Amino acid sequence: MKSFILICTLLVVFLLNGVAMAVPKKFLFPGPEYKPPCDISKTTICTIEIWLANKHKKHKRQIKKFLKSKSLKVLGHTVQYWRPKGGHPPTNIAIGSAISAEDARFVIDFALKYNDRIDLLVLRPLNPPNYVAIATSAWDELSQISITQDDLTRLRDPKLTTEEFHSLYYELTNEANVQNKFY
């Protein structure tokens, strides 16, 4: 009974504080055998895929130039545009487990600027560690977790370290309790 009361008390404190509990690093980051596919001295993003609303197509050159200024490798298909009458691109982001908090915030800000909003997070284990995607349609509904604007504000907090950022992402996506282990 004492254990139950202690657990309930800790849960209440956790919920009231809104702070992510420490998650073991083995669940947050790639193992020591992982070697990034790019030079991560300037950015931890090795691959970025972006889908934007067709209205942004006229700014394609500016967008690519901006991404290159952030030391991102920009290929011809890095930025793609939704069909003119295809509705709005998905409002999700995927952030790999080796992305720094600073680069993750950059991706979130970019997505908010060019894709209006973020409503869903893609589970991290589905993506390579140094990968990010904005508005990806590659994953089904089970792979994406809804978040609130308050959750997004917490992720954008500039005080978060990389470990704190990924702990929070892990918590928000409830990765520890994913029932269908399809990855």
Encode the chain (183 residues) as per-residue pLDDT tens digits: 545 444 444 444 444 444 445 666 666 888 889 999 999 999 999 999 999 988 898 999 999 999 999 888 887 778 888 877 778 899 999 999 999 999 999 999 999 999 989 999 999 888 899 999 999 988 888 899 999 999 999 999 999 999 999 999 999 998 877 655 544
b/e code 43-52 from CB counts within 10 Å (16+ = b): bbbbbbbbbb
SS3 at position 144: strand
β-bridge pairing 47-52 and 131-134: parallel
Angle at 134 between CA 140 and CA 174, to 5 degrees: 55
Q: What is the pTM of this model?
A: 0.81
Smallest CA-to-CA distance from 134 within 113, 164, 162 is with 113
Q: Where are the domains of the chain?
A: 23-30+44-176
Smallest CA-to-CA distance from 82 within 48, 112, 114, 105 is with 114
Question: What tokens appear for 121 in the block?
Answer: 């997070």
Question: Do residues 152 and 117 make contact, with C-beta atoms less than 8 angstroms apart?
Answer: no
Provide the 8-state DSSP code for 119. -
